[in-house]
Structure 1
């Protein structure tokens, strides 16, 4: 019986938003107002498509983008946490569910030499087209009214667990580590034996606190964190039983 660790990426693994960080590559490190103001709620991936097209139109290509992305700082203590998880892979399966994209996450994890920590990464598919422009697509279609149209993290988690049940893999506990509003939907799916670990002071923790005030608490235990070392301390206690 293993533990399943589910990580968000932006403001969880890295201490930035990878999608907004890429704007550093734009002329004067900013976007024109017509692009900045074109975002529609729940349609972030479409918005990022316009950002990438603008970067491409301005001659920004793969190498420059990669150089910028691999400078993103990791959240304090995360690399040490990943070393710990690697040493105890017999205890943990580890996945990422993120609203970033495959290219950014792959670049960042490879540059930090931590790819081997993660069994699977679920995020929006991205690639460079024949003209050298970065393109991004929705991860999937879903019917969840609470989530952006491109990604319902709860659906991803449900399908992941169903597939593993077919292979007769059952987890003793799920630990969900995240920070943002789009992490609430999968968190509400967790059961009483599971643990949600919201980043201290970020939106997910505030939303969970509000639910508790509204007498609609999450079923899972709530353990807030500020650094990867706090998560590591919790995992150390967990595997000692």
Structure 2
């Protein structure tokens, strides 16, 4: 193993959509979803929507077929397969649910690349209805106490658990890839020797730019799927081959202007060098 743990969010980070919205929209329940959205938490809302779809005669098989058509870019697939081939330990931490994530990953031949999927549980009840449950059972347990995350899932707590488990096996380096507001909390749990890859102009990128002192890890934003694959594989190679830049610098154009210069004439990867020039 390369001694590298790569943690992915799922929605808008692996698939180029929100899988919950994708199912609701494709199965014709958008109007009810929008009506109920202001009245309940997202996790509870999705369980309610699946109950409504079940009452309309929509089956689990219908949902699975819908999920198989969720957009995922070939570069996202190749990035995952390449990172896995390089010996990285790949994991998912997502506020989607087990059924949605596993259905999509199996369809694209990616399920075996991941050693762990941390997300909201999903079960089929006696009536054949798919139920979505919270990762943290907030109905019977006290809240997790994190004001950055929704009550059903604190990704920061999940990252802390993963860190404790992998550090017991030896020193590891983390790369966290995400896009959403709830990807900020786990980003603050990373160390200076770790890396975070926020999707540019998405909520986590905005939060990191607004609170740069809260994130110790080196930041490399990505804008598109070509970026994601190139930057992720570059960071993995930097860790493996020891080509590092000062981790105290944030490689984000909300803080610095970025130059891209080749590591060497033979190296097709590009080395991101933060230039300390304020641009915003």
Shift of 1:118: 0.6
Shift of 1:191: 1.1
**Mapping of 1:197-208 within 5 angstroms?**
197-208=197-208
Shift of 1:76: 5.2
Alignment match of 2:166 (pick from 164, 167, 189): 164
Shift of 1:134: 1.2
Pick the structure with greater CA Rg. 2
1:155 aligns with 2:152: no
Shift of 1:36: 2.1
Shift of 1:238: 3.0
Alignment match of 2:221 (pick from 205, 219, 224): 224
TM-score with structure 1 length normalisation?
0.89
Cα contact 2:190–2:217 (8 A) shared by 1: yes
Shift of 1:171: 3.6
Matched with 2:240 is: 239
Instruction: Describe the SS at the equivalent of 2:49.
Output: helix
RMSD of aligned alpha carbons: 1.9
Instruction: Describe the SS at the equivalent of 2:165.
Output: helix
Cα contact 2:4–2:174 (8 A) shared by 1: yes
Matched with 1:97 is: 93
Residues 183 and 42 of structure 1, relative CA distance in 2, 3 Å threshold: farther
Matched with 2:4 is: 3
Matched with 1:23 is: 24
Residues 152 and 211 of structure 1, relative CA distance in 2, 3 Å threshold: same
Equivalent-residue separation in structure 1 for 2:170 and 2:39 (angstroms):
36
Where structure 2 has 5 or more consecutive residues not aligned to the other structure, the ranges are 138-143, 243-280
Equivalent-residue separation in structure 2 for 1:4 and 1:26 (angstroms):
36
Equivalent-residue separation in structure 1 for 2:204 and 2:73 (angstroms):
17
Shift of 1:173: 1.3
Instruction: Describe the SS at the equivalent of 2:211.
Output: helix
In the alignment of these two chains, the number of paired residues is 231
TM-score with structure 2 length normalisation?
0.77
Matched with 2:261 is: none
Matched with 2:132 is: 136
Equivalent-residue separation in structure 2 for 1:24 and 1:150 (angstroms):
23
Matched with 2:70 is: 72
Matched with 2:148 is: 146
Matched with 2:251 is: none
Residues 65 and 225 of structure 1, relative CA distance in 2, 3 Å threshold: same
Shift of 1:199: 1.0
Where structure 1 has 5 or more consecutive residues not aligned to the other structure, the ranges are none
Deviations 1:118-176 (A, max 9, x none): 110000000222222110100014221221010000101111222334xx313431111
Moved more, 225-234 or 68-77: 225-234
Shift of 1:40: 4.9
Instruction: Describe the SS at the equivalent of 1:72.
Output: coil
Equivalent-residue separation in structure 2 for 1:75 and 1:235 (angstroms):
20
Cα contact 1:24–1:68 (8 A) shared by 2: no
Matched with 1:59 is: 57
Equivalent-residue separation in structure 2 for 1:179 and 1:170 (angstroms):
29
Runs of 4+ in 1 over 4 A off after TM superposition: none
Deviations 1:208-228 (A, max 9, x none): 11113xxx3411110111323
